[in-house]
């Protein structure tokens, strides 16, 4: 068995996190090093390594992740002002935790291009 990622440990309740959503498919918690006033990670409970692991069968999971993002954006009061959803994939993508996750960032003006 590969070593559990920090996110798998959070989902399993083995290490603490500020969890803001949990259901049978998806867990969401606040990023430990926030890059915006709202910075939440939306994580499938299933330990996919990243976007490269996704297949056609993950359609419902992706819809669930986006639905959680929409719900949390409303709860955080950033639905109207706008927000950014980001998935970093692999080394050049800037991925550091190899358990698929979507960043929900908001509460300030985002810039483009990313660094």
Judge residue 61's burial from the number of C-beta atoms within 10 Å of its C-beta, 0-12 exposed, 13-18 middle, 19 or more buried: middle
Nearest approach in angstroms of CB 51 to ligand AMP is: 11
Mark whether 58 is an active-site residue. Answer: no
Catalog residues that contact ligand AMP under the rule CB under 6 A: 6, 17, 29, 31-33, 41, 88, 94-97
Q: Which is closer to ligand AMP, CB of 32 or CB of 110?
A: 32
Nearer to ligand AMP, 56 or 115 (CB): 115
- Token pair for residue 57? 């069968």
Kindly state the tokens that stand for 78: 């950033």
DSSP-based three-state secondary structure for 96: coil
- Please pick, among 58, 99, 101, 103, the residue that the annotation labels catalytic: 101
Give me the least distance between CB of 63 and ligand AMP, in Å please. Answer: 21
Q: Which is nearer to ligand AMP, 41 or 57 (CB)?
A: 41
Phi and psi based region of residue 90 (left: phi greater than 0; alpha: psi -120 to 50; beta: remaining): left
Q: Where are the beta strands (DSSP E) in 34-82?
A: 38-44
Q: What is the DSSP letter of 87?
A: -
Nearest distance from residue 36's CB to ligand AMP, in Å?
A: 11
Q: Known catalytic residues?
A: 101
């Amino acid at each position: 068995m590969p070593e559990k990622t920090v996110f798998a440990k959070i989902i399993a309740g083995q290490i603490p996190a500020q969890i803001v959503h949990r259901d049978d498919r998806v867990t969401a918690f606040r990023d430990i090093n926030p890059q915006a006033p709202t910075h939440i990670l939306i994580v499938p409970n299933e330990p996919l390594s990243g976007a490269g692991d996704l297949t056609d069968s993950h359609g419902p999971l992706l819809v669930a992740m986006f639905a959680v993002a929409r719900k949390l954006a409303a709860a955080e009061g950033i639905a109207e002002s706008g927000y950014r959803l980001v998935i970093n994939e692999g080394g050049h993508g800037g991925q550091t935790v190899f358990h698929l996750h979507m960043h929900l960032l908001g509460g300030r003006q985002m810039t483009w291009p990313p660094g």
